[in-house]
Homo-oligomer: A and B are copies of this chain.
Amino acid sequence: MGPFAGGRLPAAHPLIDGRTAGSPLVLAARRQPVPHTPVWFMRQAGRSLPEYRALRAGTAMLESCFTTDLVVEITLQPVRRYGVDAAIFFSDIVVPLKAIGVDLDIVQGVGPVVKEPFRSPADLGRLRDLTSDDVLPVLAAVTELTKELGGTPLIGFAGAPFTLASYLVEGGPSRDHAHTKALMYGAPDVWHALLEKLAGIAGEFLRQQVLAGASAVQLFDSWVGALPARDYREYVQPHSAKVLAAVADLDVPRIHFGVGTGELLVDMRDAGADVVGVDFRVPLGEAARRVGNEVALQGNLDPAALFAGPEAVEARVREVLSDAEDLSGHIFNLGHGVLPSTDPDVLHRVVDLVHEITLR
């Protein structure tokens, strides 16, 4: 990335009007000098916060995701409490699918459940293109958040085609992705047509979020670590690349993350990431050896380590920062989402530690 071209961003966009272009998160993503290492947490909005549970009480998950005021408030809660360097709007990766009419719900303790799984060519007809009209309450939240957040960048996000396809094909969360892989290996034409459609939906959703004020985006391919690299390149990478290309002309930092993707880091970089998210299994120094210095890295404290007591937590925060010492750009994060039973005070302490230790 060169200096922000931003020709297509509105003049009032926070990356253009001076609010977030100099923020630690955007600087680190652009591999420029930072006052301190920026830190945020995947799934920081919702889950472990008591003020979130109080606010959500009585409202179903998906309903919350389409209720502007709730999205705004839940997104702001961790920013206020922890002083993180970025907000990520409260949502779920199946929201754009729900928005175009796929019959699905998020079931407590299970995850997304799709009423009629997608397994035949005819099912492709059940997907249509997404337009901004489909996600107006979400975009209204992004606009509102951009005002409230001031100099703190808002990260937009979407689920990547493989992970969305896995939910659609399995009908819900899966350990083995057997139906998904059966379709992928057994009917590659149908597979590619499905992922092409999902890439269009995810790309348009990301683009609308950026136009509404997001200063960065993260593409989550949560489950793609279930594939070997050569299958990733053949069946997934072109579609993820299409999603990331959908915001390329907006010159906004693009983060790309999946769980257990040590074998895929180079190929996920090549899909068009400016920042590669690394899970906790690969130390950041090793990840940098794999992907080189042309991208920044995000990660990678093990969220399970947050339960090990203050001394162990501090030791492991220092370990991550030490691993990151020679990176050209580092965004501190967990190596996976916040676990629901995490103590918010521990997360707060991690933010303070990262800021204290890396203050320049």
Contacts and interface: CB of A to CB of B under 8 A. Distances in A.
Interface string A282-294: 1100000000000
Interface in A181-234: 181-186, 225-228, 230
Contacts of A230: 283
Interface stretch (A21-29, A120-128, A307-315): A307-315
Interface residues of A, number: 36
Contact of A178 (B181, B262, B307): B307
A279 to B, nearest CB: 9
Interface stretch (A80-88, A135-143, A268-276, A297-305): A297-305
Q: How many copies does the complex hold?
A: 2
Contacts of A186: 307-309, 311-312
Interface in A216-261: 225-228, 230, 260
A92 interface: no
A303 B311 CA distance: 42
B312 A185 contact: yes
Given A260-B260, A262-B262, A263-B262, A182 B281 contact: no
B176 A308 contact: no
A228 B185 CA distance: 30
Given A185-B312, A282-B228, A283-B228, A304 B176 contact: yes
Contacts of A307: 178-179, 181-182, 186
A318 interface: no
A336 B339 CA distance: 26
Contacts of A228: 280-283
Contacts of A260: 225, 260
A309 B173 CA distance: 23
**Best-surrounded residue of A227, A307, A316, A336 (most CB of chain B within 10 A):** A307
Contacts of A36: none
A177 interface: yes
B263 A302 contact: no
14 contacts: A176-B303, A181-B304, A181-B305, A181-B307, A181-B308, A182-B305, A182-B307, A184-B308, A185-B312, A185-B316, A186-B309, A225-B260, A228-B281, A262-B263
